[in-house]
């Protein structure tokens, strides 16, 4: 039997997943690394940390009992999107990578839109220029760190830096490249108009592949470090959202996913590139050849709960360690003791700014409605509900675009929590379905590798033969009515606070 390896270079760690031809998990390993915030609104990581974590994760997974290196037929790569890795003429990293959740580039977004022209930006990239995207980071470097910019010879996305370290080749694929503001989304190739307008050389960018297509092969050096076979093919892979959608079977129209990881994403597959008239959602190339997708993205979904765990729940963390359980189990157990609506406590999950429906880097997190009864249980539930409200914002936009919805699949850490899944079903007033394998992007790119190595003919066939439905969560009518009331309050808060968010940013910068 042949095996496939899926790698996900995420925001919190690198994950390696080994699966067999049936889509069954054989081995998995995750190694974490830090995220650095040198200034408010900034987010950076050291690509060397990604590399070491990836090597360790691959070595763990590939050394599973009974697995020989030659039996691993191929690898797929996924990772956090939009991040910028700048390499010099010696292919060495010039500075820490600027990440997808970094908000320093608002001025550069405006500059790119003016310079290229808004009509050209939308026609070429099908999206506005946003602070998370890659091109503004390149322009920021040029304007703020000219010495570093003068040394740049390559700009890579996070997973593509790992591809380079594994294979020695510079390559990317259409789904991840879609989030750079430099790809022509309709033609699925680098936009000469955008590059010319920004005066960026095309040879700074890697070659663009379709996601299931082999892009490179494991080098001798990487083979010795990881235990993989030299020459093993590495397919294009996918940005984490498109790859995660493949792993969830979101490869045909009608079935959409709601993913609650560090970020929160509502994702629907498209047969043609359709855009929201107000450009509140993203229209990107899918990891399925000839397909596109639309997604709404909130920047701090599970990230909000992680902040709460780290900043407020030291007692729960210590107790969980003594009990040998996940701290989130204790936090959500407390949240479950609070009635829906949290006695009027509402949370805005804008800890790192926001993207959908408000592309605002100045937006910030807010607890609205605190009173003397408000404690950790109420705050925890308010976070779970606030994230669900934010995801509903995206869901409502996708519906308004005329995208057909026949089934909603829940995935990510939020889907593993019975309480959070029920809250989402109630807030959306929609049945949520989970699948048997919830391994996200790593599983998706393993399936892409199965297509690229000939095990399956198409991505659709790979999903059909490996992904099965598991559980269904129905909305509770009484909760639906409660959440409808509080969702309207939630919706009113951002417009009321928007000018204050801007004033706050000016005050602290």
Domain ranges (residues) in the chain: 3-236
Burial class of residue 504, CB neighbours in 10 A (0-12, 13-18, 19+)? middle
Residue 404 is predicted with a pLDDT of 86
pLDDT along the chain (509 residues), means of 10: 94 95 94 93 96 97 90 97 97 97 94 97 96 96 98 98 98 98 98 98 98 97 96 97 94 91 91 92 96 94 95 94 95 97 96 91 95 96 98 96 91 88 97 89 97 97 93 96 98 97 88
Residue 261 is predicted with a pLDDT of 84
Q: Specify the CATH class of 3-236 in words.
A: alpha beta
Burial track 47-67 (b if 16+ CB lie within 10 A, e otherwise): bebbbebbbbbbbbbbeeeeb
Given a contact cutoff of 8 angstroms between Cβ atoms, the answer to whether 360 and 297 are in contact is: no
Residue 60 is predicted with a pLDDT of 96
Residues carrying an active site annotation = 240
Q: Is 158 helix (H, G, I), strand (E, B) or coil?
A: helix
Residue 164 is predicted with a pLDDT of 98
Strands 233-235 vs 214-217: parallel, antiparallel or unpaired: antiparallel
Q: Is 229 helix (H, G, I), strand (E, B) or coil?
A: coil
The span from the first CA to the last CA of the chain, in angstroms, equals: 58
**Other Cβ atoms closer than 10 A to 433:** 19
């Amino acid at each position: 039997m042949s095996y496939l390896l899926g790698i996900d270079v995420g925001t919190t760690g690198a994950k390696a997943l080994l699966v067999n031809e049936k889509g069954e998990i054989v081995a998995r390993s995750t190694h974490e690394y830090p995220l650095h915030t040198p200034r408010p609104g900034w987010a950076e990581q050291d690509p060397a940390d990604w590399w070491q974590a990836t090597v360790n994760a691959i070595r763990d997974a590939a050394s599973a009992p009974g697995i020989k290196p030659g039996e691993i037929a191929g690898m797929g790569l996924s990772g956090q999107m939009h991040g910028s890795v700048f390499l010099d003429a010696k292919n060495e990293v010039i500075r820490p990578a600027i990440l997808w959740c970094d908000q320093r580039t608002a001025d550069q977004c405006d500059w790119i839109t003016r310079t290229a022209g808004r009509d050209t930006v939308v026609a070429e990239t099908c999206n506005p220029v946003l602070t998370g995207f890659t091109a503004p980071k390149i322009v920021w470097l040029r304007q703020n760190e000219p010495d570093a910019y003068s040394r740049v010879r390559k700009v890579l996305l996070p997973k593509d830096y790992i591809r380079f370290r594994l294979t020695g080749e510079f390559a990317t694929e259409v789904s991840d490249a879609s989030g750079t503001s430099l790809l022509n989304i309709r033609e699925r190739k680098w936009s000469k108009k955008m590059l010319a307008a920004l005066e960026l050389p095309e040879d700074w960018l890697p070659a663009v592949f379709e996601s299931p297509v082999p892009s490179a092969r494991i080098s001798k050096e990487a083979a010795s470090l990881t235990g993989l076979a030299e020459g093993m093919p590495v397919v294009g892979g996918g940005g984490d959202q498109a790859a995660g959608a493949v792993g969830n079977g979101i490869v045909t129209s009608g079935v959409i996913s709601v993913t609650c990881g560090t970020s929160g994403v509502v994702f629907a597959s498209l047969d043609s590139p359709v855009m929201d008239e107000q450009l509140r959602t993203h229209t990107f190339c899918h990891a399925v050849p000839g397909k596109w997708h639309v997604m709404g993205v909130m920047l701090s979904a599970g990230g909000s709960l992680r902040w709460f765990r780290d900043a407020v729940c030291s007692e729960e963390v210590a107790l969980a360690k003594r009990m040998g359980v996940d701290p989130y189990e204790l936090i959500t157990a407390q949240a479950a003791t609070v009635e829906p609506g949290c006695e009027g406590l509402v949370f805005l999950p804008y800890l790192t700014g926001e993207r959908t429906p408000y592309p605002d880097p100045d937006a910030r997190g807010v607890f609205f409605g605190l009173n003397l009864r408000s404690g950790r249980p109420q705050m925890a539930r308010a976070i779970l509900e606030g994230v669900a409200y934010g995801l509903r914002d995206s869901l409502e936009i996708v519906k308004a675009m005329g995208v057909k919805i026949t089934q909603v699949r829940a995935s990510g850490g939020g889907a593993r929590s019975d309480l959070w899944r029920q809250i989402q079903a109630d807030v959306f007033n929609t049945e949520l379905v989970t699948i048997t394998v919830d391994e996200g992007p790593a599983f998706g790119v393993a399936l892409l590798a199965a297509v690229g190595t000939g095990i399956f003919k198409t991505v659709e066939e790979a999903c059909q033969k490996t992904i099965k439905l598991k559980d269904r969560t129905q909305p509770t009518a009484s909760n639906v009515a409660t959440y409808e009331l509080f969702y309207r309050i939630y919706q009113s808060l951002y417009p009321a606070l928007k000018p204050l968010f801007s004033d706050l940013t000016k005050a602290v910068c």
